[in-house]
Structure 1
Amino acid sequence: MAVVKHYLKWPAALLLAVFVLSGCSREPEVIGFNGMTMGTTYSIRWVDTDESRIETLRPLVDNLLKEVNQQMSTYIEDSELSRFNALPAGGSLEVSPQLADVVTQALRISKLSDGAFDVTVGPLVNLWGFGPDGRIIKAPSDEKIEGLRAEVGYQNISVEGNALSKSGHQYVDLSAIAKGYGVDEVAALLEQQGIKDYLVEIGGELRASGLKPGKEDWRIAIESPVAGERDVERVVSVSDTGIATSGDYRNYFEENGQRFSHTIDPRTGRPITHKLASVTVLRPNCYEADALATTLMVLGDEAGPAFAEKHGIAAFFIIKQGESFVERSTPEFDSFLQEVN
Structure 2
Amino acid sequence: MNAFVHRWHLLRRLLPLLGLAPMVAACQPDTVKLTGPTMGSSYHISYVRNEGTPSPEAVQASIRQLLDELDRSVSTYRDDSSLASFNAAPAGTCQTMPPMAIDLARAARKLAADSDGAYDVTLLPVLDYWKFGPKAARERAAAARSGNGDGLTVAQLVDAGGKPASPGNDAATSGTDTNPATTGDDALQALRARTGMQHLRIDGDRLCKDAPITVEFNSIAAGYIIDRMAARFAAQGIRNYLIEVTGEMRAGGQKPDGQPWRIGVEAPLDDARVAQRIVSLRDMAISTSGDYRIYREENGRRLSHLIDPRTLSPITHKLAAATVITDSAMQADGLSTLLMVLGPEQGYNYAVRHQLAALLVSRTPSGFATRTTPAFEQRFPVSSNQRLDGE
* Both proteins in one fold, TM over 0.5: yes
Q: Does 1:15 align with 2:58?
A: no
Q: Does 1:176 align with 2:219?
A: yes
Q: 1:89 aligns with which of 71, 88, 91?
A: 91
Tell me, what secondary structure is at the counterpart of 2:15? strand
Amino acid at match of 2:59: L
Question: Please, which moves more after superposition, 13-22 or 307-316?
Answer: 13-22
Question: Please, which moves more after superposition, 202-211 or 30-39?
Answer: 30-39
Q: Does 1:117 align with 2:160?
A: no
Q: CA deviation at 1:232?
A: 1.5
Tell me, what secondary structure is at the counterpart of 1:129? coil
Q: Does 1:209 align with 2:209?
A: no
Q: 1:237 aligns with which of 275, 280, 284?
A: 280
Q: For 1:104-183, what aligned pairs fall within 5 Å after superposition?
A: 104-135=106-137, 141-183=184-226
Tell me, which stretches of 5 or more residues in structure 1 are unaligned? 1-6
Q: Is the 8 A contact 1:225 1:247 kept in 2?
A: no
Q: Does 1:336 align with 2:380?
A: yes
Identity %: 40
Q: CA deviation at 1:90?
A: 0.7
Q: Output the aligned Cα RMSD.
A: 2.3
Q: Does 1:297 align with 2:340?
A: yes
Q: 1:225 to 1:39 in 2, by over 3 A?
A: farther
Aligned residues: 330
Q: Is the 8 A contact 1:100 1:159 kept in 2?
A: yes
Tell me, which stretches of 5 or more residues in structure 2 are unaligned? 1-5, 19-23, 141-149, 152-181
- Give CA deviations for 1:122-174 in whole Å, capped at 9, x if unaligned: 21112212121125769963322221123221011110211100100011110
Q: Is the 8 A contact 1:13 1:280 kept in 2?
A: no
Q: Is the 8 A contact 2:28 2:256 kept in 1?
A: no
In 1, Cα distance between the equivalents of 2:28 and 2:93?
58
In 2, Cα distance between the equivalents of 1:238 and 1:260?
34
Question: Please, which moves more after superposition, 303-312 or 39-48?
Answer: 39-48
Q: CA deviation at 1:36?
A: 1.0
Show structure 1 runs of 4+ deviating over 4 A.
7-10, 20-24, 49-52, 135-140
Q: Does 1:35 align with 2:36?
A: yes
Question: Please, which moves more after superposition, 290-299 or 213-222?
Answer: 213-222
Q: TM-score, normalised by structure 1?
A: 0.90
Tell me, what secondary structure is at the counterpart of 2:134? coil
- Give CA deviations for 1:69-96 in whole Å, capped at 9, x if unaligned: 1111111111111111111011110111
Q: TM-score, normalised by structure 2?
A: 0.79
Q: Is the 8 A contact 2:9 2:248 kept in 1?
A: no
Q: Is the 8 A contact 1:12 1:246 kept in 2?
A: no
Q: Does 1:326 align with 2:325?
A: no
Amino acid at match of 1:17: P
Tell me, what secondary structure is at the counterpart of 2:32? strand
Tell me, what secondary structure is at the counterpart of 1:315? strand
Q: 1:284 aligns with which of 327, 346, 360?
A: 327
Amino acid at match of 2:99: P
